[in-house]
Amino acid sequence: MKTISFQKYHGTGNDFIMIDDRVDYWRRHLPQATIRLLCDRHLGIGADGLILLQDHEVFDFIMYYYNADGKESTMCGNGGRCLVAFANSLGIFDQHCTFDAIDGIHKASLQKGQISLGMKNVKVDAKRRDLRYFLDTGSPHLVEFTPLGHKVDFYKKGMELRYDNEFAPGGTNVNFVSILEENKIQVTTYERGVEGLTLSCGTGVVASAIAYAEEMDLSHVDVIVKTDGGKLRVQCERIKHEYKNVILHGPAKKVFSGQYDL
């Protein structure tokens, strides 16, 4: 019987199964159904996604990310932060690292339990419709502003928008944003691949902060984002409708480690 050693991490409630894949190369041998089982909260370990860490010829490591449905997916911001903490625990780097992911190269640093992760540059269509923005922050995100305290069935509406024909064939993640105060917003995310609401979503938080900067016409972007799983911070430089040097700040914590018999 084959056994997988793993560690479980979460970033503001967004949880992931971490596997050091530098030796066994599970990427070659884990079918979609097995990954889906590992992420199942009743029959498996339980997680929003699974991440494999492998060696890279040039950079510190490479990230392979799979959603809870077992499919390899686009970039995951909270997963990237958790992977940085995991790589640090393996002794791969000390304070600063550079790694490869599906959306390109990322730089990150770790200090006092906080992970600062560099994200891709983001261009925003200057035209928005009905308080909605559609952004690519490494993963596709629809951002919709909702009045604070306004009652919305986020699950139902998120599911409808996630499968809207406008975003076919891959669909989109959906973020509902309420403004709490100046430079502080609240975000609820419906994640594709998980097919439900998650406590937090890193790329969604970045998309929401950038949409807020567009909506408020900010010249300096430094936004605190409250999610159901905790607080994150997004900083970046804005040049008209383009955002550069985007950094996602927040905690990443180990929950437990174990072995799973396939």
Residues 100 and 161 in one domain: no
Rg (CA), the chain: 18
Select which of 76, 82, 97, 236 is catalytic: 76
What whole-number percentage of the chain has pLDDT above 90? 88
CATH code, 133: 3.10.310.10
Structure tokens belonging to residue 106: 């990322």
Q: What pLDDT band is residue 127 in, cutting at 50, 70 and 90?
A: low
Annotated catalytic residue 97: no
pLDDT score for 1: 65
Confidence of residue 104 (pLDDT cuts 50, 70, 90): very high
Residues 129 and 106 in one domain: no
Model confidence pLDDT, tens digit, residues 208-243: 999 999 999 998 999 999 999 999 999 999 999 999
Report the number of distinct structural domains present in the chain.
2
Average pLDDT over residues 112-126: 91
Helix (H) or strand (E) holding 39: helix 32-39
Q: What is the pLDDT of residues 137-147, one digit of tens each?
A: 999 999 999 99
Does the structure show a pLDDT above 80 at 260? Answer: yes
| pTM for the structure as a whole | 0.95
Distance CA 20, CA 182 (A): 41
Q: Quick one: 30 and 145 in the same domain?
A: no
Same structural domain for residues 97 and 130? no
- 126 with 201, same domain: the answer is yes
Query: Does 76 participate in catalysis according to the annotation?
Result: yes
* 205 touches 77 (CB < 8 A): yes
> Per residue in 158-206, pLDDT tens?
999 998 888 878 899 999 999 999 999 999 999 999 999 999 999 999 9
Conformational region of residue 131, where left means phi above 0, alpha means psi within -120 to 50, and beta covers everything else: left
Q: Are residues 193 and 94 in the same domain?
A: no
Q: Which one of 39, 82, 97, 201 is the catalytic residue?
A: 201
List the domain range (segments joined by +) for residue 237: 122-250
Instruction: Note the pLDDT tens digit of each residue in 69-103.
Output: 999 999 999 999 999 999 999 999 999 999 999 99
Same domain, 239 and 126: yes
Q: Are 127 and 245 part of one and the same domain?
A: yes
